[in-house]
Structure 1
Amino acid sequence: MTLSLLCVPFAGSGAGFYRGWPNGADQGIRIVPLQMPGREERFLEDPYKDAAEAAKDLAGAALRLVGGAQRVVLFGHSLGAVLAYETARELQTQGFTALEHLFVSGSPGPRSGRTGRTAELDDDTFVERVAELAGYRHEALDDPELREVLLPLLRADVALHEDYRPVSDEPLTLPVTALRGTDDALVSRAQCATWETATTGPFELKELAGGHMYLTDRQQELLAVIDAAARGART
């Protein structure tokens, strides 16, 4: 039975990032990217201001895209991890029973909080700081015209992440798998492990080779981990 993998974008990115992933016939996984406002086909919409607003919108999109599916899991990286967490809560609140696993990547647990105010730095310092934190710099930020278009969205996403607080203190009941790159200088193994407190269900921590943005070139390995964890949760 095909597994529908809902994917939430990370800060500054859109659904297009996941559209390039292989719809792995070998793993039996259907990639279902969720789009966020302010980017790509939703470019004219204002970016999310808070996590509760994001969760309701993303959950609504998820139900439209996979509402009839029997097996669904959620994945999010960095900002996308906490938004996936809140979306999972919203889907469960709405009685969506097909959701069976949450995968959170490159993020401390939801109760960890964020320090600093990167979003308030001047443009040049902001771009350098984001690249330093992520260990990854998108080439579009070196193009003056593209940078002018992308910076407001990236600032909004970073501000949302820095302001994030969990919508509820109640843990999920879903199995949760936390993932990180082995060389991630932004999120430590210990910070990633704090996701265990976000659920009363089974928890596992997995590491893949690479830095904070390991998923840019480790898609097949990541999909294999997701498939194995999702299979294990059903046995």
Structure 2
Amino acid sequence: MSKVMESAASADGGERTALVCVPFAGAGPSFFHPWRALSAGRWRVVPVELPGRERRILETPYRNAVEAARNCVDALVADLDEGERVVLFGHSLGAVLAYEFAHLLGARGVHVERLVVSGSPGPRTQRERRATGLPEEEFLARVEEFAGFRHEALDHPEMRELILPVLRADCEMHENYVPSTDEPLSVPVCSLRGGSDGLVGAEQAQEWRKATTGGFSYRELPGDHMYLVDSGREVLELIEAERKGADA
């Protein structure tokens, strides 16, 4: 079987959809690599690789989300098979980037089946408490407060030197985000949230209803803002259930 045919076929021989995964602040595409096994052939998991991390560590990270999406969409389209359907998933910063990708891909004729946003208020709501511009230790404390945990790599000087510029750029990109358009999407949107998320409330997560003229659903999973770290399987099962519900 050719690469294209293999990537377009599921374990049961049917057509498979690409699940495009956009990382949260400070994360890289490898976060989503375990999801390939968890998907059990239902999805072709396609992580977005942004500058400043992993294989692109030497590249300057973006500080503007609209610019990032516009400059990365060509590479994303190149990763898709011709005619392949797409579900977009993004958590926190990844949610607003996925929203921008949804507009850009739709304009290019790519069939975006659904946008799944996680741990994010609606695209026009800006965070009241910010990390951008704070001195290093205050910045890290604020990020730890937002995320609900501190990554152990930040306690190692050499790793911190590599990670900190990307984390600062990502926070600035997210906290200064203004959508590129006032036009709502026409694709269905599903908003996910950890039920104990102290950063994004249920009402804020449901603001995504205003971002589409298509269907909207809201779901909660156990956990805090970073619930998805230990809930990849549950997230994928929920997305699959959303698709089946739409097809019913």
When the two structures are superposed, what TM-score results if normalisation uses the length of structure 2? 0.90
Q: Give the structure 1 partner of residue 135 of structure 2.
A: 122
Using the alignment, how far apart are the partners of 1:166 and 1:211 within structure 2? 26
1:27 to 1:227, Cα distance in 2 relative to 1, 3 A: farther
Is 1:191 equivalent to 2:201 in the alignment?
Answer: no
Q: Give the structure 2 partner of residue 46 of structure 1.
A: 60
Q: Residue 31 of structure 2: which of 5, 12, 17 is its match?
A: 17
Using the alignment, how far apart are the partners of 1:6 and 1:151 within structure 2? 26
Using the alignment, how far apart are the partners of 1:231 and 1:65 within structure 2? 25
Q: Residue 159 of structure 2: which of 127, 146, 169 is its match?
A: 146
8 Å CA contact 1:2–1:28 kept in 2: the answer is yes
Using the alignment, how far apart are the partners of 2:235 and 2:71 within structure 1? 26
8 Å CA contact 2:39–2:236 kept in 1: the answer is no
Q: Residue 108 of structure 1: which of 121, 125, 138 is its match?
A: 121
8 Å CA contact 1:24–1:30 kept in 2: the answer is no
Question: Which ranges of 4 or more aligned residues in structure 1 deviate by more than 4 Å?
Answer: none
Q: Give the structure 2 partner of residue 180 of structure 1.
A: 193
Q: Give the structure 2 partner of residue 3 of structure 1.
A: 17
Using the alignment, how far apart are the partners of 1:24 and 1:218 within structure 2? 10
8 Å CA contact 1:51–1:167 kept in 2: the answer is no
Using the alignment, how far apart are the partners of 2:36 and 2:149 within structure 1? 22
The alpha-carbon deviation at position 138 of structure 1 amounts to 1.1
Is 1:75 equivalent to 2:89 in the alignment?
Answer: yes
Is 1:91 equivalent to 2:101 in the alignment?
Answer: no
Using the alignment, how far apart are the partners of 1:180 and 1:174 within structure 2? 20
Deviations 1:44-71 (A, max 9, x none): 1111121221122332222111142532
Using the alignment, how far apart are the partners of 1:139 and 1:191 within structure 2? 30
The alpha-carbon deviation at position 141 of structure 1 amounts to 0.6
The Cα RMSD (Å) is 1.4
Corresponding residue SS for 1:20: helix
Gaps of 5+ in 2: 1-14
Q: Give the structure 1 partner of residue 6 of structure 2.
A: none
Using the alignment, how far apart are the partners of 1:214 and 1:116 within structure 2? 21
Residue type of the alignment partner of 2:124: R
Identity %: 50
The alpha-carbon deviation at position 116 of structure 1 amounts to 4.0
8 Å CA contact 1:101–1:174 kept in 2: the answer is yes
8 Å CA contact 2:18–2:87 kept in 1: the answer is yes
8 Å CA contact 1:14–1:35 kept in 2: the answer is yes
Residue type of the alignment partner of 1:185: G
Using the alignment, how far apart are the partners of 2:96 and 2:219 within structure 1? 17
The alpha-carbon deviation at position 125 of structure 1 amounts to 1.0
The alpha-carbon deviation at position 119 of structure 1 amounts to 1.6
Judge which range, 136-145 or 186-195, deviates more: 136-145
Judge which range, 73-82 or 108-117, deviates more: 108-117
Residue type of the alignment partner of 2:61: P
Using the alignment, how far apart are the partners of 1:93 and 1:193 within structure 2? 25
Corresponding residue SS for 1:205: strand
Gaps of 5+ in 1: none
